[in-house]
Amino acid sequence: MKALYSLFLVFALAAIALVGAGALGMEKAFGLYIPFLAVAVFVVGFCVRVVGWGKSAVPFCIPTTCGQQESLPWIKQSTIENPSTTGGVVMRMLFEVLLFRSLFRNTKVDLHEGTKVTYGSSKWLWLGALAFHYSFLTIVLRHMRFFTEPVPGLIAGIESLDALLQIGAPTLYLTDLVFVVAVTYLFLRRVVVPQVRYISLVQDYFPLFLILAIAFTGIFMRYFAKVDIISVKQLAMGLVTFSWNVPEGIGVLFYIHMFLVSVLLAYFPLSKLMHMGGVFLSPTRNMNCASRKFRHVNPWKFENVHYHTYEEYEDEFREKMVDKDLPVDKPLAEGAE
């Protein structure tokens, strides 16, 4: 049901662009104003969210340690999983952000006859997530050729690498294929695995459908219903150089694509997609694990904390302590006065 809502929502968005840029001829709005606004919302929103997190304090040093601590010199420390230096923390974060280290550990639980539980390695989510994020990144980088003149060598390089197999004309990008497969897997997983379906919300399906729709419109434009690529580049260059103009006859499919991308950008800071920024700020991963070695300072103060002092304690129990020859600070007579 939630998946259907999301699907419907994405169709509705596509319809808006279809009608708006097509029938109503609002090319300028869908080609320039909305994308510009979306980028602004994305940038400002992203910053607001990150600054918002940054304003919250990190009162305690609470990293999850996933390996042997720094200890006696002859005990081998796990310097990345339990880092005690900044370099180690950087490595830990790099493994996490670039390779999804924690997800790599994933296991799956199974129940068996009798009273037996087993845990099997389960790397599909890791693989799916990795494929999704890296192909997405490649596609975004590839698109930079629309916004640059001349196209930098790096982007051209990525592009030719991506089209390595030289299938068809225009040549098939491998990432397009991987991307669609990965997103489809992530979606199917949500629908098929009962527990994952149970925890999924509309806002889990919506970005998947939105991204998938963006991919399909893009692929369709490139391989089947070809749009005027020269005009698209003109429009894109116009956007980034602020010399806004809308070339004629780009084709409505492009505007749908562009509108969906705009929605994604604007939706980004409002949603869970902000994990992109949040992962860097997660205190359980980005802190040094040597909290007995170096003191961590809490920026806020505890108010009205009363301590139970030793004096109060001895006053209550002095007699009983003296009785057992336990040392006391004040002798019995003095304390009893």
Provide, rounded to whole angstroms, the least separation between the CB of residue 198 and another protein: 4
315 binds another protein (CB under 8 A): no
* Closer to another protein by Cβ: residue 126 or 254: 126
Whether the bond between 150 and the residue before it is cis, its omega within 30 degrees of 0, is yes
* Nearest to another protein of 132, 173 (CB atom): 132
CA distance 126 to 74: 34
Looking at residues 203 to 232 of the shown chain, list those that interact with another protein (rule: CB under 8 A). Answer: 203-204
Return the residue of 59, 87, 152, 170 that touches another protein, per CB under 8 A.
59
293 lies in the binding site for another protein (CB under 8 A) = yes
Q: Which of 102, 171, 184, 234 binds another protein (CB under 8 A)?
A: 102
Residue 309 sits in the site that holds another protein (CB under 8 A): yes
3-class SS letters over 127-178: HHHHHHHHHHHHHHHHHHHHCCCCCCHHHHHHHHHHCCCCCCCCCCCHHHHH
Residue with Cβ nearer another protein (90 or 164): 90
Instruction: Determine if 72 is a binding residue for another protein (CB under 8 A).
Output: yes
Residues 187-206 that bind another protein (CB under 8 A): 193-204
The smaller minimum CB distance to another protein, of residues 150 and 194, is found at: 194
Is 55 a binding residue for another protein by CB under 8 A? The answer is yes
68 contact partners, CB below 8 Å, separation of at least 6: 75, 76, 77, 78, 81, 82
Distance set, CA 320 to CA 70, 314, 315, 328, 335 (Å): 43, 9, 10, 10, 12
When the beta carbons of 283 and 335 are compared against another protein, the nearer one is: 283
Angle of the 202-219 helix axis to the 174-192 helix axis, nearest 10? 150
